[in-house]
Structure 1
Amino acid sequence: MRVLLAEDDDILADALAEQLGNAGFQTEVAADGRTALEALTSQPFDVAVLDLGLPKLDGLSVLKAVREVKPALPILILTALDGLEHRVAGLNAGADDYLTKPFDFPELEARIRALLRRFKPQAGSTVSLGALSFDREARRAVVDGEPVELSPREWELLDLLLTQRDKVVTKDEIAQAWDLDRNQGGPSSIEVYIHRLRRKLEPSGVSIRTVRGLGYLLELQA
């Protein structure tokens, strides 16, 4: 598994790279945002760990740019910025997890492995609804023959909604599927991803209806 570690603190970066290597990860370190962005957009990585306070190009800008070309890459933010507004901004920009400094390495490793498990292709048959075709095994979503680019969280959200079609999916169920807690901007983050997924599903004839006070329901438009 290849990890891109974007961290400008040389001592911390070297220590983390060594620990990740001992844990079985092939780790490349980027000491600034521009280097991280170039590496992430030109090379294959299984997961990225981004500091927000990077020189030359901040981590949030790197995150947004990477999401434009690699919406399915699992990305974890690792930063000393622990305010709620920073968590919400990072998650809304496309991060899949958020860990604040100081931290213990076992937790970082556990979170990386959780991301890799979460976004690993899972066996299952293709599900079709309207013009939407959703292949869990190939991790492929298609609308009228055209592939739909989904971020990891959008993918999990659509999978959950399809699995529980004809049943209202609550925000708590979505948060559990994402391993999301209240300190990570829970409800507001979910609403952002619901909005993004709605837009991507519009051409398929499939809609996500908000059931006030309960959650969300996937249904085929009449």
Structure 2
Amino acid sequence: MIQCLVLEDEQSAQEILKAYIDKTPFLNCVGIYESGLDVPHDQLQLTDVLFLDIQLPELNGLSFLKTLNNAPLVIVTSAYPSYAIAAFEEAVTDYLVKPFSYERFYKSLTRAQTLLNNRKHEGKNQVLLYADKTIYKTTIEDILFLKAEVDYVNVVATGREVLVLDSLQNWSEKLSQFNFVRTHRSYIVNLDQVEKVSGNQIFIKEKVLPIGRTYKQDFLKALKRTGLF
């Protein structure tokens, strides 16, 4: 399911987009807003595709786009074709000129769907670990857990452990967009790798990890959201 967000200040245009979104089985709308200043950061993080109007109150669409560090795929929806060159310079996925048909809308979405599927297999999920003057390459999916070791972090992946000079807090921020959760002051685990939970212990590939008392509730909530337990 593709998660989308609409940034559009005209009600009639909002209604058309909402109707098109509801008509598309692989699309779900997480929110509709009239101004970029109103968009919650957490919703934007969940967004795969942003439908973005140009002429917006307070902050125009392209200016809003330039404020985003990790922007979702952007499909511009504008009544003004003159902004197209500037929009594509910002690497938007498509540019729909109002009024546009559902057929044109759907074509744009299939393009975005292809890009999203490709992203899943690209190097953005690769991680380079530097230790002892050596660079090790692994993937986010292969990381089992991370353990704090004084001034280092032990990154435990399938078939490999690499001790890197870093902090667990830094890794917590790096992995925030993935399916990882802090389970102890010294541990971050990959929820997709959890095989069993018993009492205050987590079992991953013959490793037994502790669950800290202050982290247990958030861990169980996160585990439940995965649908695996």
TM-score (norm 1): 0.50
Query: Shift in Å at residue 13 of structure 1?
Result: 0.3
Structure 1 residue matching 2:91: 3-state secondary structure:
coil
Task: Give 1:85-96 correspondences, 5 Å limit.
Answer: 86-96=83-93
Structure 1 pair 56/65, CA: closer, same or farther in 2 (3 Å)?
Answer: same
Per-residue CA distance 1:178-202 (angstroms, 9 max, x = gap): xxxxxxxxxxxxxxxxxxxxxxxxx
Distance 1:40 1:53 in 2: 24
Amino acid of the structure 1 residue aligned with 2:70: K
Amino acid of the structure 2 residue aligned with 1:70: N
Task: Give 1:106-185 correspondences, 5 Å limit.
Answer: 106-121=103-118, 136=121, 139-140=124-125
Are residue 31 (structure 1) and residue 34 (structure 2) matched? yes
- State the identity as a percent: 22
Query: Shift in Å at residue 55 of structure 1?
Result: 0.9
What RMSD in Å do the two structures reach over aligned CA positions?
2.6
Are residue 102 (structure 1) and residue 86 (structure 2) matched? no
Task: Give 1:68-87 correspondences, 5 Å limit.
Answer: 69-71=69-71, 73-83=72-82, 86-87=83-84
Q: How many residues align?
A: 128
Where is the strand percentage greater, Structure 1 or Structure 2? 2
Per-residue CA distance 1:56-102 (angstroms, 9 max, x = gap): 21100111112xx214x21111111112xx21211112312211112
Distance 1:22 1:115 in 2: 17
Structure 2 residue matching 1:99: 3-state secondary structure:
strand
Are residue 12 (structure 1) and residue 9 (structure 2) matched? no
Q: Check conservation: 2:75, 2:96, Cα contact below 8 A.
A: yes
Where is the helix percentage greater, Structure 1 or Structure 2? 1
Distance 1:45 1:16 in 2: 16
Structure 1 pair 74/53, CA: closer, same or farther in 2 (3 Å)?
Answer: same
Structure 1 pair 117/41, CA: closer, same or farther in 2 (3 Å)?
Answer: same
Structure 1 pair 3/61, CA: closer, same or farther in 2 (3 Å)?
Answer: same
Which residue in the other structure is 2:185 paired with? none
Query: Shift in Å at residue 18 of structure 1?
Result: 2.3
Amino acid of the structure 1 residue aligned with 2:91: G
Amino acid of the structure 2 residue aligned with 1:80: A
Structure 1 pair 105/50, CA: closer, same or farther in 2 (3 Å)?
Answer: same
Query: Shift in Å at residue 53 of structure 1?
Result: 0.4
Per-residue CA distance 1:81-134 (angstroms, 9 max, x = gap): 112xx21211112312211112112211220221121231478xxxxxxxxxxx
Query: Shift in Å at residue 45 of structure 1?
Result: 0.9
Structure 2 residue matching 1:120: 3-state secondary structure:
helix
Which residue in the other structure is 1:182 paired with? none
Q: Check conservation: 2:5, 2:44, Cα contact below 8 A.
A: no
Amino acid of the structure 1 residue aligned with 2:11: D
Q: Check conservation: 1:74, 1:116, Cα contact below 8 A.
A: no
